[in-house]
Amino acid sequence: MTQQDSYYYVPSPSYWPLVGALALLLLASGAVLWVNGYSSGPLTVSAGFAVLIFMMAGWFRTVIRESEGGLYNKRVDSSFRWAMSWFIFSEVMFFAAFFGALFYARVLSIPDLASADSQLLWPHFSAIWPNAGPGFKGSFSPMEAMGIPAINTLLLLSSGATLTWAHWGLMKSRRTQLVLGLILTIALGVLFITLQASEYSHAYSEMNLKLTTGIYGTTFFMLTGFHGLHVTIGVTMLTVMLFRVLAGHFKPDHHFAFEAVAWYWHFVDVVWLLLFVVVYWL
Amino acid sequence: METTAMGHAQAHDHGHGPTGLRRWLTTTNHKDIGTMYLWFSFAMFIVGGIMALLIRAELFEPGLQFLEPERYNQIVTLHGLIMVFGAIMPAFVGFANWMIPLQIGASDMAFGRLNNWSFWLLIPASVLLVTSLFVPGGAAGVGWTLYPPLSIQMGMGMDLAIFSVHILGISSILGSINIITTILNLRAPGMTMMKMPMFAWTWLITAFLIIAVMPVFAGAVTMLLTDRHFGTSFFSAAGGGDPVLFQHVFWFFGHPEVYIVILPGFGIISQVIPAFSRKPLFGYASMVYATGSIAVLSFFVWGHHMFTSGMPVTGQLFYMYATMLIAVPTGVKVFNWIATMWRGALTFETPMLFALGFIFLFTMGGFSGLVLAMTAVDVQMHNTYYVVAHFHYTMVAGALFSAFAAVYYWLPKWTGHMYKETLGKVHFWLTMIFFNMTFFVQHFLGLAGMPRRIPDYALQFADFNRISSIGAFGLGLSQLLFLYIVISCIKGGPKAAAKPWDGAEGLEWDVPSPAPYHTWEIQPQVK
């Protein structure tokens, strides 16, 4: 290929972007149908997911082949680094919106609903946290920080360490260390998700703590839920990395895919620390 | 800017890849994708424009004529969303795709496939928005700001708008990551940051803003979705939430968004004015710093959209002064443009006319913005036609005029032909006159108290509304002339030189016109 000789790799024409657009059309229109109670919704969403997974598998396969085929020089590698950094920044801002909602509720809207201005409307409401709002009937228990959440903090922090250990293995060509480190990281991630799921189930069945439990339930489940989704995506990506390692991919000086996943994993880790402090603990 | 390697020296073709429809569906070429962005943008401009004309037809006289009040609100909402996300932003992404690689001496954008995905995502997003008009309950009729509690009560058209916003967000975030990476990583040797063309600089900063705030908008509409369908309480006081929370989250996105819409326009004007003044840009470094300052300040002024939502006086004062502070870097820009023209050898081709129209009218839009920034005044003017007039002076006379300037400025580079200069000038004057006829009178309507987003009005507003509606139809029809000029320029016309404007500077003029399919496969050395 002529591009090999040039200073930058420009990919040849590809159908994957079009397939990706179709996937999102199906996903979005299916979701709209679903939340509005149309029976065609779930099917359309499933079709969208199928197309999305097909697209991701195909697109990533192409990228992996190009990478392993030596088409990506240092300059392409540095493009990937910039792009992944900015992508993670966009994720930070997405979480910031939900953290902002939590701070707003605790600092502004709850005290305001208990203030003299609102006394006529909500006479017996007091601004304590956790709080499900003046209209909430019944009682619920908030999630304690020092049970499963503390264990999960330990798990995620350890997983960050095992992943770095695996990365050292990759850079020093110690294959066993790399594979073992990756497997440990994945196992810790899966354990985290399992514990999170059992925490959710406990909240729903024993504590009357649900997504619908006022602003506390809302912010608790939306923040930890989006975080859990990111852990799941991270575990999926780590698993792909494990399979690539087993297939003999990556060299000590050429493995940005691995590093990108590690960056993402550490980002998810940091978000968890914030969650642990402001959602569970304070 | 001198270069050692001329673009046409390396214009040898190695296969254009697929042809016909497949070329456009699968392309990874920045010029193809830029072209698709620009045509998509024009199509949405027509769709959003027809909606604007429906609004103005309804407001031609008092009473209800053509549209049910609900339908009127839906049209107002979609007009706003389509013009901002479908017309203006894709137009600037189109210019960025075409011109940034040419301007910085790169062979293409950093991620060709991702680039194509960013474009094709616009299609499902616009399909969702437009079809929402035809679902039970109609489209979202809440205004482009999507405020709850009304947006919680809407039918499934609102859900379509929410998911459309999600897809638009993905598209523009991916597009911005691509643009930032291209600018930071693919500049030609010797092209230091402070030698970059202003258009690239303004896009770098715009792309940063997009990545910073589009996810926040995605978060806001996600909260709407879960409040609507999954029983969360973000915006419900009974659950401890607050509808005003949405306004905070929305405008944290929304205010940087209005700079996203205008900053690339600043970049275009900063290139057109020097070209037709035959002088380098006055105060290049201060232009860069002013753009950066505007971007930073944009994160701290969102409260000025909420002066009437209930806010402590301290908050009002903070947002008032912070907002007025933005006039400083903006003033620096206007000063620099005028200083560039000072003692220049000026000529007034169409791009220059649109640039001058931009400076004059955008400054007026800036001034009415300062008026609205004053809390005590804003309390009177909030949600009146004064606000509508203000932001159309920045969005139409600002963003759209700069887009027209860019099209006329770069058309010779894209097509290899000169456009019909006389017709271009006619297009400018028609647009200029009808624009002011449409929107200038809206200042008076607003000052007199006419509320926005209402299909009917009291009798005393009739005359100005009639003038505004006639102007709007004139403005809309004038754009057919623009379409004709562009198409006839693509089909033929006098051959354009590599550098058709003798005062223009930049690497894009070192490649032949029309620009070959692949350019800068060997990077130029910038001195």
Cβ(A35)–Cβ(A41) under 8 Å? yes
Q: Work out the angle between the directed axes of helices B30-58 and B401-415 (0-180°, nearest 10).
A: 140
Average pLDDT over residues B463-489: 98
A97 with B127: Cβ contact below 8 A: no
CATH of span A1-72: 1.10.287.70
Q: Which of B219, B220, B521 sits opposite A6 (nearest CB)?
A: B521
Q: Which two tokens stand for residue B170?
A: 């993905």
**Is the bond preceding A130 in cis, omega lying within 30 degrees of 0?**
yes
> B186 — contact with chain A (CB < 8 Å)?
yes
Average pLDDT over residues A101-124: 93
Please count the CA atoms within 13 angstroms of the CA of B71 that sit on its side-chain side: 12
CB-defined contacts A:B, below 8 A:
225
The proportion of chain B whose per-residue pLDDT surpasses 90, expressed as a percent, equals 96
Q: How far is A155 from chain B (nearest CA, A)?
A: 28
Confidence of residue B131 (pLDDT cuts 50, 70, 90): very high
B26 with A86: Cβ contact below 8 A: no
Please give the pLDDT value at position B7. 41
Mention every residue, 6+ apart, whose C-beta is less than 8 A from residue B237: A109, A113, A133, A134, A135, B243
Cβ(B188)–Cβ(B5) under 8 Å? no
pTM for the structure as a whole: 0.95
> How far apart are the C-alpha atoms of A194 and B278, rounded to whole Å?
68
Q: Which of A8, A104, A105 sits opposite B186 (nearest CB)?
A: A8
A24 with B27: Cβ contact below 8 A: no
> How far apart are the C-alpha atoms of B305 and B301, rounded to whole Å?
8
Cβ(B465)–Cβ(B61) under 8 Å? yes
> How far apart are the C-alpha atoms of B341 and B335, rounded to whole Å?
10
Closest residue of chain A to B238, computed from CA coordinates? A135
> How far apart are the C-alpha atoms of A163 and A184, rounded to whole Å?
8
> How far apart are the C-alpha atoms of B348 and B341, rounded to whole Å?
12
A222 with B211: Cβ contact below 8 A: no
Q: How far is B26 from chain A (nearest CA, A)?
A: 5
Q: Which two tokens stand for residue B138?
A: 């109609």
Query: What Å distances lie between residue A116 and A112, A127, B236, B242, B297, CA to CA?
Result: 8, 12, 19, 17, 35
A8 with B180: Cβ contact below 8 A: no
- Residue range B256-266, pLDDT digits in tens: 999 999 999 99
Q: Which of A15, A25, A74, A208 to mutate to test the interface with B (most CBs of B within 10 A)?
A: A25
Closest residue of chain B to A221, computed from CA coordinates? B232
Catalytic residue numbers of B?
79, 108, 144, 171-172, 255, 257, 259, 270, 304-305, 330, 333, 452
- Environment class of A254 (CB within 10 Å of its CB; exposed 0-12, middle 13-18, buried 19+): middle
> B233 — contact with chain A (CB < 8 Å)?
yes
Q: Which two tokens stand for residue A155?
A: 């798990």
Q: Which of B14, B106, B249 sits opposite A101 (nearest CB)?
A: B249
The interface residues of chain B toward chain A in range 270-289, judged by CB-CB distance below 8 A, are none
> How far apart are the C-alpha atoms of B92 and B110, rounded to whole Å?
18
Q: Which of B177, B186, B249 sits opposite A97 (nearest CB)?
A: B249
The region of weakest confidence among A154-158, B2-6, B88-92, B128-132 is B2-6
Closest residue of chain B to A136, computed from CA coordinates? B239
Q: How far is B49 from chain A (nearest CA, A)?
A: 25
Query: What Å distances lie between residue B230 and A34, B68, B227, CA to CA?
Result: 12, 31, 6
CATH of span A73-281: 1.20.120.80
> How far apart are the C-alpha atoms of A45 and A62, rounded to whole Å?
25
Q: Work out the angle between the directed axes of helices B350-373 and B327-341 (0-180°, nearest 10).
A: 150
Average pLDDT over residues B351-361: 98
Contacts by A241-250 with C-beta closer than 8 Å and gap 24+?
Answer: A241/A182, A242/A179, A242/A182, A242/A183, A242/A186, A244/A64, A245/A170, A245/A175, A245/A178, A245/A179, A245/A182, A246/A179, A249/A64, A249/A68, A250/A170
Q: How far is A92 from chain B (nearest CA, A)?
A: 9
Candidates A234, A223, A93; CA nearest to A160 is A234
Average pLDDT over residues A253-264: 97
Contacts of A222 in chain B (CB under 8 A): 223, 226, 232
How many of the other CB atoms lie within 10 Å of CB of A120?
A: 7
A104 with B242: Cβ contact below 8 A: yes
Mean pLDDT of chain A: 95
- Residue range A118-139, pLDDT digits in tens: 889 998 899 999 999 999 988 9
The DSSP result for A38-58, as a single string, is -THHHHHHHHHHHHHHHHHHH
Q: How far is A87 from chain B (nearest CA, A)?
A: 7
Q: What CA dihedral angle connects B136, B44, B207 and B396, to 10 degrees?
A: -110
A12 with B114: Cβ contact below 8 A: no
Tokens 């990365």 -> residue: A167
Q: How far is A214 from chain B (nearest CA, A)?
A: 4
Q: What are the boundaries of each domain within chain A?
A: 1-72, 73-281
Over 50: is that where the pLDDT of B11 sits? no
- Residue range B226-246, pLDDT digits in tens: 999 999 999 999 999 999 999
Q: Which two tokens stand for residue A239?
A: 């698993």
Over 50: is that where the pLDDT of B2 sits? no
3-state SS, residue B3: strand
Please give the pLDDT value at position A3. 42
Confidence of residue B168 (pLDDT cuts 50, 70, 90): very high
Q: Which two tokens stand for residue B336?
A: 């620099």
Please give the pLDDT value at position A252. 95
Contacts of B218 in chain A (CB under 8 A): 94, 97
Q: Which of B124, B216, B231 sits opposite A212 (nearest CB)?
A: B231
- Residue range B425-460, pLDDT digits in tens: 999 999 999 999 999 999 999 999 999 999 999 999
Closest residue of chain B to A86, computed from CA coordinates? B177
Confidence of residue B16 (pLDDT cuts 50, 70, 90): low
Q: Which of B124, B160, B239 sits opposite A218 (nearest CB)?
A: B239
Q: Which of A106, A115, A215, A226 to mutate to test the interface with B (most CBs of B within 10 A)?
A: A215
Q: Which of B110, B214, B216 sits opposite A96 (nearest CB)?
A: B216
Please give the pLDDT value at position A5. 54
Average pLDDT over residues B185-197: 96
> B214 — contact with chain A (CB < 8 Å)?
yes
Contacts of A97 in chain B (CB under 8 A): 215-216, 218-220, 223, 249, 252
Tokens 């009808």 -> residue: B434
The DSSP result for B322-389, as a single string, is HHHHTHHHHHHHHHHHHHHHTT------HHHHHHHHHHHHHHHHHHHHHHHHSHHHHHHHTTBHHHHH
Instruction: Kindly report the backbone phi and psi dihedral angles of residue B201, in degrees, each rounded to the nearest multiple of 5, phi listed first.
Output: -60, -50
A25 with B124: Cβ contact below 8 A: yes
Confidence of residue A192 (pLDDT cuts 50, 70, 90): very high
The size of chain B, in residues, is: 527
Query: What Å distances lie between residue A28 and A44, A45, B137, B165, CA to CA?
Result: 9, 8, 18, 10
Instruction: Kindly report the backbone phi and psi dihedral angles of residue B225, in degrees, each rounded to the nearest multiple of 5, phi listed first.
Output: -60, -45
Q: How far is A176 from chain B (nearest CA, A)?
A: 34
> How far apart are the C-alpha atoms of A22 and A16, rounded to whole Å?
10
Closest residue of chain A to B175, computed from CA coordinates? A83
Mean pLDDT of chain B: 95
Closest residue of chain B to A12, computed from CA coordinates? B28
The interface residues of chain B toward chain A in range 97-126, judged by CB-CB distance below 8 A, are 106-108, 110-114, 116-117, 119-121, 123-124
> How far apart are the C-alpha atoms of B288 and B268, rounded to whole Å?
13
A214 with B245: Cβ contact below 8 A: no
Confidence of residue A14 (pLDDT cuts 50, 70, 90): very high
> B133 — contact with chain A (CB < 8 Å)?
no
Contacts of A61 in chain B (CB under 8 A): none
> How far apart are the C-alpha atoms of B439 and B396, rounded to whole Å?
10
Average pLDDT over residues A53-74: 95
B248 with A104: Cβ contact below 8 A: yes
Closest residue of chain B to A15, computed from CA coordinates? B26
Please give the pLDDT value at position B519. 95
A10 with B229: Cβ contact below 8 A: no
Cβ(B49)–Cβ(B116) under 8 Å? no
B226 with A90: Cβ contact below 8 A: no
Q: Which two tokens stand for residue B353?
A: 């006319």
